[in-house]
Structure 1
Amino acid sequence: MAPSEYSLRLQRGIVGGFAPPTPDAIHTLTKVPENPNILIASAVRPEGTPELQSATAKSLQAAQTVTEALVDELHAILKVLPTEVPPGSEDIYGLNTSIAWGSDDLEWCNGGPQGCGGGTSAVQPTEEEKAKFRRAVEIVDELVGKAA
């Protein structure tokens, strides 16, 4: 079961190189015990524009059965997935996407705080782990899509 308090961030656009990556989207989901909702803040860079533009903050009722099941599934997936070593060395999942999760029982992040700057990770995921990461991204997209 997922914790009652967590913060989750999905960023599309993590691969850099000589220059830092240019994110296409950043979605932040926050759940605190005092609030029955998951708060969702998004910033998206419309194609052809240089900067992220913030969208209206949304929320999603956390106690809905479907929402709880999705968050529980995401939490369980992240608990078993590896991250690159050293952090930020390589986009080991190949999706140009990072997920960062923080809660009392789990701190997990792929892609490093400044994206992936080129290099080779000492850790490489299996095809099964890559599929689980794709599912984790789908879950976050579904949660963001359900928000009003």
Structure 2
Amino acid sequence: MPPSEFSLRLQHGITGGFAPPTPSAIHTVTAAQNLPHLIINSAVRPDGTPSLQDAGAKSLTNDAETSNLVDELHGILKTIPTELPPGSEDIYGMDTSIAWGSDDLQWMNGGPQGCGGGHSQTKANDEDKAKFKRAVEIVNHLVGKAA
């Protein structure tokens, strides 16, 4: 069963180097114990534009399908590694980060300012990469379902 309260953030565009990364999208999903739905905020950068544009808040009913997807995401994140030191390398090779926070799990890849071109002591194997890809698919599905 997924936690009743959590916050997660998915960012497309985390690799940088000399210059900081330029995100193409940032989605946040929040669940509060007293709300029957998830709150989803998105900011996207249309091609050719210099900055993110707020897409406004949406909500998603926390029905059985949504709950199952959140539970699957939570379970995946409990089993896959993050880079060490944080932000050193995009170990999943997707130029994407997920940050999850709940009472029982704090998980983040990519570091607060993205990945800066270093080398991680921790590496993701093919199974880890497939799980992370599925985690990204879940978040994108939830964001896409929101109205």
TM-score between both structures, scaled by the size of structure 1: 0.98
Is 2:35 the partner of 1:35? Answer: yes
1:119 matched to which residue of 2?
118
1:71 matched to which residue of 2?
70
- The percent of aligned pairs where both chains have the same amino acid is 69
Aligned length: 147
1:89 matched to which residue of 2?
88
TM-score between both structures, scaled by the size of structure 2: 0.99
2:53 matched to which residue of 1?
53
What residue identity is the alignment partner of 1:20?
A: P
Instruction: Determine the C-alpha separation between the residues in 2 that align with 1:68 and 1:34.
Output: 15
2:97 matched to which residue of 1?
98
Instruction: Determine the C-alpha separation between the residues in 2 that align with 1:67 and 1:35.
Output: 14
What residue identity is the alignment partner of 1:9?
A: R
Instruction: Determine the C-alpha separation between the residues in 1 that align with 2:116 and 2:95.
Output: 12
Instruction: Determine the C-alpha separation between the residues in 2 that align with 1:56 and 1:17.
Output: 30
SS, match of residue 56 in structure 1 = strand
Considering only aligned residues, what root-mean-square deviation do their CA atoms show, in Å?
Answer: 0.4
What residue identity is the alignment partner of 1:43?
A: A
Is 2:140 the partner of 1:137? Answer: no
2:17 matched to which residue of 1?
17
> 1:52-100: CA deviations, max 9, x gaps?
00002100011x1110110000000000010000000000000000000
Contiguous gaps of at least 5 residues in structure 2: none
1:34, distance to aligned residue in structure 2 (A): 1.1
Instruction: Determine the C-alpha separation between the residues in 1 that align with 2:144 and 2:19.
Output: 31
List, as ranges, runs of 4+ consecutive aligned residues in structure 1 with deviation greater than 4 Å: none
